[in-house]
Amino acid sequence: MIKSGDILIAEPYLEDETFDRSVVLIGNHTHEGTFGFVLNKPSDLIISDVIEDLSSFSLPIYIGGPVEQDTLHFIYRNPLPLEGTVQLTQNLFWGGDFEKLKEMLNNQEVSPDDVRFFVGYSGWAEGQLDDELTKKSWITWTPSVDDIFDLPFREMWRNILKKMGGRYKILANYPSDPRLN
């Protein structure tokens, strides 16, 4: 059963350009639907491009998914005193008082390495993700919080599969386009 804090790893043969080789953090999974954030697809923007109060930060903004790309979301590790925060797992949190987060970043009360920003999110309607899992479009795994923040985004998909071992280690080397192999 999938839960908040788990990740979805796109099967190497998933024929969906949006989620090709994606690693998606699950924010919430209920009988009503699922939402999450793509961890390994940075946009061309950095946070100082869109938030004037964070002009001294060059943190990348990731494309959280195709839904509501006019919204900004954030996750962070380690508890912070942010009102409205949702705890996803131990030491992994989503959202909360954005003004307070900006203040804490600017006052160096929180490390920029402990925060990740997303434009938009990934969403699945009731039963949709379960159907995709049945069709084996996704591999599920429970990562450590450090995996989420510390694995380089360019190699995250491959590195997680390698960490999983067994048949997944073999999938990690599957070519992007097997016709070119």
CB 7 within 8 A of CB 140: yes
How is residue 13 written in tokens? 């043969």
pLDDT of residue 80: 92
Neighbours of 3 (CB within 10 A): 12
Least Cα distance to 54 among 6, 10, 106, 18 occurs for 106
Q: If 0-12 CB within 10 Å is exposed, 13-18 middle and 19+ buried, where does residue 28 land?
A: middle
CB 125 within 8 A of CB 35: no
Q: How far apart are CA 105 and CA 57, in angstroms?
A: 9
Whether 111 has a pLDDT exceeding 70, the answer reads yes
Q: What is the mean pLDDT of the chain?
A: 93
Cα distance from N-terminal residue to C-terminal residue, the chain: 35
**pLDDT for res 13:** 81
Question: Among candidates 162, 118, 111, which has minimal Cα distance to 141?
Answer: 162
What local confidence, expressed as pLDDT, does residue 179 receive?
54
Domain segments of the chain as ranges: 7-180
Q: What is the pLDDT of residues 50-106, one digit of tens each?
A: 999 998 999 999 999 999 999 999 999 998 999 999 999 999 999 999 999 999 999
Rounded to two decimals, the pTM is 0.93
Of 55-59, 79-83, 126-130, 176-180, which range is least confident?
A: 176-180
- HSE, CB side, 13 Å, CA atoms: give it for residue 158: 8
pLDDT at 174: 73
Supply angle C-alpha 76, 79, 85, rounded to 5. 70
Among 16-20, 114-118, 120-124, where is mean pLDDT lowest? 16-20
**Are the beta carbons of 121 and 64 closer than 8 angstroms?**
yes
The whole-number average pLDDT for the span 7-26 is 91
Q: What is the dihedral of CA 150, 4, 128, 17, to 10 degrees?
A: -10
Res 148 pLDDT > 80? yes
Report the DSSP pairing between strands 60-63 and 67-77.
unpaired
Q: Which CATH number fits domain 7-180: 3.90.700.10, 3.40.640.10, 3.40.1740.10, 3.30.750.200?
A: 3.40.1740.10
Q: Which two tokens stand for residue 147?
A: 């995996």
Determine the pLDDT at residue 145. 96
